[in-house]
Amino acid sequence: MRVVPLLPLLLPLALAGLDAGSILSSVRRTYAASPSFTANFVQSYAPSGFAAAAPETGRVILAAPDRLRFDYDGPEGKLFAFDGKAARQYVAADRQLVVRTLTAEERSRLPLLFFESPEALLRRFEVLAAPGEGGTSEVKLTPKGGGEPARLDLAVTASGEVKRLVVTDAAGNRTTFAFSGLAAGGKRSREDFAPKPPPGTKVISDGRESR
């Protein structure tokens, strides 16, 4: 009697049991359950065809519906914040603050999708879910109309916590965020996401320079 391997038969059933909409719903519920969250992050960038550059580390603050802040470790005093309208990148060592209004494509590169409804994401993206490592689910989002970013990949736990976000552009360049130590927090002030630099800082706002 010929023995038929079970794995190829069971794998499609396992994949079919993962509902991408339900996973996205759990992500939204998790990150809307508290006024804010903090987490550790490791950020790395890998140009297409090359190894990843040295990673950057720090702490991130996430606050629904559309605010975040990355504080980077290191002597430069670097931070990136988004208040729902404008992004601010400040480097204390350079005494410079860059303020920019982000396009929809630029916003898609940030962890803001953690706050979006699954209905909105399913309208914008083709979404596939598959079992991942360590009991996570791997969720791949590809824009239905093309454009940037070309693909987003999430690693999501059963509780809806996102452990990894990979942003891939059309040229194949990848930015990876790995998150750990997620903790709920209280309400945050507007200044947390629209920080004011010290006097004498060069401010470049949508291409216009001032001090």
9: confidence class by pLDDT, cuts 50, 70, 90: very low
CA distances to 158, 159, 163, 197 from 135, rounded to whole Å, are 7, 11, 11, 43
Give domain status of residue 163, yes or no: yes
Average pLDDT over residues 138-164: 95
* Averaged pLDDT score across all residues of the chain: 90
Mean pLDDT of 172-188: 97
In a domain, 116, yes or no: yes
Domain assignment present for 167: yes
Number of domains in the chain: 1
Q: Which residues of 86-97 are buried (b: 16+ CB within 10 A; e: fewer)?
A: ebbbbbeeeeeb
Q: Does a structural domain hold residue 203? A: yes
Structural domain contains residue 31: yes
User: The pTM is what?
Assistant: 0.87
CA–CA dist 186, 36 (Å, integer): 6
State the average pLDDT over residues 165-171.
Answer: 95
Query: What average pLDDT does range 71-93 have in this prediction?
Result: 95
Any domain includes 114? yes
- Reply yes or no on whether the pLDDT at 88 is more than 60: yes
Question: Could you tell me what percent of the chain has a pLDDT over 70?
Answer: 90
Tell whether 6 is covered by a domain: no
Question: What is the per-residue pLDDT across 99-144, written as a single tens digit (0 to 9) for each?
Answer: 999 988 888 888 899 999 999 999 999 999 999 999 999 999 999 9
Q: Is residue 36 part of a domain?
A: yes
| Residue 126: CATH number of its domain | 2.50.20.10
pLDDT at 211: 60
